[in-house]
């Protein structure tokens, strides 16, 4: 009996703590990280993972860079911008695995705005928080679709869809699977929403990636590999049964609208995760030419202090094997 207790105790103490920072609140897509926690997948590989809600990709990058968090989930463009503007930062996080192969960013408007195509956005009043990924990358959308100058209004994220629904804005930028459902929650009928998803309108940016601190990479590369292995195992479960996965989000935030979050996670899977590009490149992977092009675009559009070097911002060497990442439904 004593031997068993000691073995059990040694197993508990062997767990490596990992603090993980999400990009946003506990909504549907958070299940990709909450499910492997709840099912014990991280524990099985020796990790004690704590997942915290976030308030934007930029903040997720900053918190990992500061050492407050070991790993995080953030928009790849936000990470690249950090590199471009902080060339001397001692602890620049590194992207290890792509989750959103296509950016979920979109321009959304309502039928009564009279906007029927991207070109109709010229001269219109657009709204989004200053840090919004879609707003930051809008010049790329603008160029690809020959949109003229627009007028930007900044606001708190919680007010974005409300202002559009009330008619205070002509259009907004945001993640399609977030803003469309938020508009519905504010009484807008689905058939009255018009969406221009960036990937369908000439903007082929990667979306969110898993990032890690250089300290963790240097001191415990095994923990990194184990994290990505357990995450991939959990991602397979989420993609196979997103309805059930939402229970893990409900367990963290009891006031979520379960049916709404089921729809949100399914939209995220369809529009950002299990996409034609992701099937071609493989779950978690990134095409080096695409990464290089994106680094160049971020440098230009975000007007960074220095050019972003794609060779240092992306490190796929810790990912599970191609076979282990073959998790998409056939």
The set of residues, in sequence order, having a beta carbon less than 8 Å from that of 102 and lying 6+ positions away, is 198, 199, 204, 205, 206, 207, 271, 272, 275, 277, 278
Topology of domain 105-201 in CATH is D-Maltodextrin-Binding Protein; domain 2 (3.40.190)
pLDDT, residue 12, reads 47
Measuring CA to CA, which residue among 80, 100, 66, 46 is closest to residue 225? Answer: 46
The total of other beta-carbon atoms located within 10 Å of residue 6's CB is 10
Same fold yes or no, 16-101+206-318 and 105-201: yes
User: What is the CATH architecture of 16-101+206-318?
Assistant: 3-Layer(aba) Sandwich (3.40)
- Sorted by where each begins, the domain ranges of the chain are 16-101+206-318, 105-201
Taking alpha carbons only, the member of 254, 157, 141, 285 closest to residue 199 is 141
Contacts of 126 (CB under 8 A, 6+ apart): 107, 135, 138, 150, 151, 152, 153, 169, 170, 171, 172, 173
User: How does pLDDT run along the chain (330 residues), one tens digit per residue?
Assistant: 555 544 444 444 579 999 999 999 999 999 999 999 999 999 999 999 999 999 989 999 999 999 999 999 999 999 999 999 999 999 999 999 999 999 999 999 999 999 999 999 999 999 999 989 999 999 999 999 999 999 999 999 989 999 999 999 999 999 999 999 999 999 999 999 999 999 999 999 999 999 999 999 999 999 999 999 999 999 999 999 999 999 999 999 999 999 999 999 999 999 999 999 999 999 999 999 999 999 999 999 999 999 999 999 999 999 999 999 999 998
CA distance 94 to 292: 15
* Residue given tokens 């109709």 in the structure block: 120
């Amino acid at each position: 009996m004593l031997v068993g207790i000691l073995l059990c105790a040694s197993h508990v103490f062997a767990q490596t703590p990992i603090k993980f920072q999400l990009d946003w609140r506990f909504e549907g897509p958070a299940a990709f990280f909450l499910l492997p926690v709840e099912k014990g997948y991280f524990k099985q590989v020796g990790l004690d993972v704590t997942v915290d809600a976030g308030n934007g990709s930029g903040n997720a990058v900053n918190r990992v860079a500061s050492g407050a968090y070991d790993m995080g989930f953030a928009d790849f463009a936000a990470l690249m911008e950090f590199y471009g503007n902080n060339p001397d930062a001692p602890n620049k996080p590194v992207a290890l695995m792509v989750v959103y192969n296509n950016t979920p960013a979109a321009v959304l408007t309502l039928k009564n705005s009279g906007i029927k195509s991207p070109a109709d956005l010229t001269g219109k009043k657009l709204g989004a928080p200053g840090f919004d990924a879609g707003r930051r990358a809008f010049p790329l959308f603008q160029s690809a679709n020959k949109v003229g100058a627009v007028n930007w209004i900044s606001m708190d994220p919680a007010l974005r869809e409300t202002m559009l629904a009330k008619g205070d804005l002509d259009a907004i930028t945001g993640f399609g699977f977030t803003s469309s459902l938020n508009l519905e929650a504010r009484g807008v009928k689905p058939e009255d929403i018009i969406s221009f998803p960036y990937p369908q309108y000439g903007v082929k940016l990667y979306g969110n990636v898993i990032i890690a601190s250089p300290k963790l990479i240097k001191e415990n590369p095994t923990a990194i590999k184990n994290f990505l292995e357990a995450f991939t195992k959990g991602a397979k479960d989420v993609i196979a049964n997103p309805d059930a996965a939402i229970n893990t989000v409900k367990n963290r935030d009891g006031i979520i609208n379960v049916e709404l979050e089921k729809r949100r996670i399914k939209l995220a899977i369809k529009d950002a995760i299990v996409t034609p590009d992701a099937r071609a490149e493989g779950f978690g992977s990134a095409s080096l030419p695409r990464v290089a092009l994106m680094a160049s675009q971020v440098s230009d559009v975000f007007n960074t202090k220095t050019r972003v070097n794609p060779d240092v911002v992306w490190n796929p060497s810790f990912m599970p094997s191609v076979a282990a990442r073959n998790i998409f439904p056939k």
